[in-house]
A and B are shown apart, each in its own frame.
Chain A
């Protein structure tokens, strides 16, 4: 997934204003002017509400199977019909969405944290440390994440926490490159050199100056990372190697999709698929909006 170039979609022309890029008020104003990004925020909020509050309003049994109620068409009793073992599909969409959103958010944040640490250390250290650390990143990018995830899932059956850790461990590479590039320019700034001259430690330079000044890059990277993670976990689950039944996520709901497609049961395919597309689009739009508001160069 190294070709992510959500930064270049350019649905909205980037706005300038680098002068006060770290003061929050104009930042929020700039973000709010980007209608697509605001729409993305609304979509994410709606889905969070749907998945985490929805089950309280629309209560369904997602643990036990009910073989008297299988493969029902959408109706008044089951708004989106039922699946092959009798789970209510609308309830399942909420139930699976919890896992998709939770894993995507957590894995995206974890990946960004790892990438930030790796990239800032490599860029700050420079020299052969940097060279070795960045070759490791190259190697990681050379092994496509989807394949490595399937190998790992063949070795162990991860639960939700395991899935978050594994996804985080395979997708920190792109943020690490971005943060490294940022660090390379920041470490030459006067305030970093001054800190060093008056006896400040390297750790202090990274923690007090490099990271706070990279925060815009990091936040933008994290947003795209969440979109990536939601897609990736959907792929792994679709291929039958994600969270195990009776638990599920949107990708897992589609793993029986082929059978459903052949028998024309569109209601088992279209809702989870649209949910994935909407949420991934929303996170990408938010990332675009943040990038323009912060006026940073994102991935590309």
Chain B
């Protein structure tokens, strides 16, 4: 019952947050110089044309009315129309988002596969030289801008060593992306690097915490071998909270995708967003912001809920 109450409250909070996000996005859309009319009709438009356009689009009505209209459109999945690509924003995102997901999921998987054993190993070798070296490397990796790492990888692997092509796969569909796996290597590695740094820290901390628990002492006293305790109990108990952290990591993943896609010219949502920023294509920009924000809210919600279920001690929550 307690959990049900918590869930209801948490979901209600998330909905309020999403509502506030729509107000911010709506506000930005209307803060544009000259408003949407100037954006669509271009700088050459006459005042008469702008007045007519505003009337046609309902832009001369009071802002609260417009906001409700905007919300109704959102509920119908209508994010507006791109100024430059002359296509529905929702359609554009539908085409691009799967490719971004491919990139981020691959990066996340690679990052976790490396980070989890690394973090455990560090916990076991705590305060030994290996732990310090890896900790220092994570510290540096964490302070490194993703694009700088990407540039160095391009420089080394495409120019000096010539192992990989410098462009990501260019296909329109997900299947075409996978047709060129070698070209995916550099973008995925670039995206995974900061994940390794952050998640190995989480795993190290979670493992250390579990190693100091009573059940470990009991198992040791009962004669279980160190290795068995580590892999049977500590690993399982540390893994779930660490994977739940992925929920909080959603905005960072999208931010990383934005940079990696721009760097390797990978036609996903990040590149869509970046070119929209270059051409001031506001509906596309704000549509993407809305999608990413909703994903962030959902990710945080899932992480909170999973952490609470896994560890009943987390009662206060992160509110």
A residues sitting closer than 8 Å to B (CB atoms) are 1-3, 5-6, 8-11, 134-136, 138-139, 141-144, 146-148, 150-156, 227, 231, 234-235, 238-241, 251, 254, 257-258, 260-262, 264, 266, 269-270, 273, 276-277, 280-281, 284-285
- Which interface class (under 10, 10 to 19, 20 to 34, 35 or more) fits B? 35 or more
| Closest chain A residue to B290, Cβ basis | A143
Q: Are B135 and A273 in contact (CB under 8 A)?
A: no
Residues in B whose Cβ lies below 8 Å from that of A231: 143, 145
What is the bound-complex CA distance between A239 and B151, given in angstroms?
Answer: 13
B18-42 CB contact bits vs A (8 Å, 1 = yes)?
A: 1011001000100111000000000
What is the bound-complex CA distance between A234 and B258, given in angstroms?
Answer: 14
Q: Are A254 and B148 in contact (CB under 8 A)?
A: yes
**Stretch from B62-70, B105-113, B280-288 that touches the partner:** B280-288
Kindly identify which residue among B138, B273, B297, B319 contacts A134, using a CB–CB cutoff of 8 Å.
B319
Pairs across A and B, CB under 8 Å, 6 listed: A135-B17, A150-B277, A155-B282, A156-B33, A264-B155, A276-B148
**Smallest Cβ distance from B311 to chain A, in angstroms?**
16
Residues in B whose Cβ lies below 8 Å from that of A141: 251, 296
Q: B96 an interface residue at 8 Å Cβ cutoff?
A: no
Q: Are A9 and B148 in contact (CB under 8 A)?
A: no
Kindly identify which residue among A10, A156, A234 contacts B145, using a CB–CB cutoff of 8 Å.
A234
Q: Are B258 and A147 in contact (CB under 8 A)?
A: yes
Q: Given A147-B255, A151-B285, is A269 in contact with B151 using a C-beta cutoff of 8 Å?
A: yes
Residues in A whose Cβ lies below 8 Å from that of B292: 143-144, 147
Q: B121 an interface residue at 8 Å Cβ cutoff?
A: no
5 more CB-based (< 8 A) A-B contacts, given A5-B201, A8-B202, A239-B259:
A11-B132, A154-B277, A262-B159, A266-B155, A276-B148
What is the bound-complex CA distance between A91 and B128, given in angstroms?
Answer: 42
Q: Are A277 and B144 in contact (CB under 8 A)?
A: yes
What is the bound-complex CA distance between A227 and B293, given in angstroms?
Answer: 24
Q: Are B148 and A273 in contact (CB under 8 A)?
A: yes
| Closest chain A residue to B265, Cβ basis | A258
What is the bound-complex CA distance between A238 and B150, given in angstroms?
Answer: 12
Residues in B whose Cβ lies below 8 Å from that of A264: 155, 159-160
Q: Are A11 and B154 in contact (CB under 8 A)?
A: no
Q: Given A138-B17, A155-B32, is A235 in contact with B259 using a C-beta cutoff of 8 Å?
A: yes
**Smallest Cβ distance from B17 to chain A, in angstroms?**
5
Q: B248 an interface residue at 8 Å Cβ cutoff?
A: yes
4 closest A-B pairs by beta carbon, nearest first, are A139-B20, A273-B148, A280-B143, A144-B251
Q: B174 an interface residue at 8 Å Cβ cutoff?
A: no
What is the bound-complex CA distance between A260 and B158, given in angstroms?
Answer: 13
| Closest chain B residue to A241, Cβ basis | B277
Kindly identify which residue among B158, B251, B274, B277 contacts A2, using a CB–CB cutoff of 8 Å.
B251
What is the bound-complex CA distance between A256 and B137, given in angstroms?
Answer: 27
**Smallest Cβ distance from A3 to chain B, in angstroms?**
6
Kindly identify which residue among A3, A8, A139, A273 contacts B152, using a CB–CB cutoff of 8 Å.
A273
Q: B289 an interface residue at 8 Å Cβ cutoff?
A: yes
Q: B205 an interface residue at 8 Å Cβ cutoff?
A: yes
Q: B237 an interface residue at 8 Å Cβ cutoff?
A: no
**Smallest Cβ distance from A123 to chain B, in angstroms?**
13
Q: Are A284 and B139 in contact (CB under 8 A)?
A: yes
Residues in B whose Cβ lies below 8 Å from that of A254: 145, 147-148, 151
| Closest chain B residue to A138, Cβ basis | B17
Residues in B whose Cβ lies below 8 Å from that of A240: 278
Q: Given A155-B33, A239-B262, A261-B159, is A135 in contact with B277 using a C-beta cutoff of 8 Å?
A: no
What is the bound-complex CA distance between A240 and B259, given in angstroms?
Answer: 12
**Smallest Cβ distance from A172 to chain B, in angstroms?**
15
Q: B182 an interface residue at 8 Å Cβ cutoff?
A: no
What is the bound-complex CA distance between A5 and B138, given in angstroms?
Answer: 12
Residues in A whose Cβ lies below 8 Å from that of B258: 146-147, 239
Residues in A whose Cβ lies below 8 Å from that of B259: 235, 238-239
**Smallest Cβ distance from B212 to chain A, in angstroms?**
14
Q: B189 an interface residue at 8 Å Cβ cutoff?
A: no
What is the bound-complex CA distance between A134 and B245, given in angstroms?
Answer: 21
Residues in A whose Cβ lies below 8 Å from that of B158: 261-262
Q: Given A146-B258, A147-B292, is A138 in contact with B13 using a C-beta cutoff of 8 Å?
A: yes
Residues in B whose Cβ lies below 8 Å from that of A9: 135, 138-139, 142, 201
Q: Given A5-B198, A154-B282, is A144 in contact with B273 using a C-beta cutoff of 8 Å?
A: no
Q: Given A135-B20, A257-B147, A264-B155, is A148 in contact with B136 using a C-beta cutoff of 8 Å?
A: no
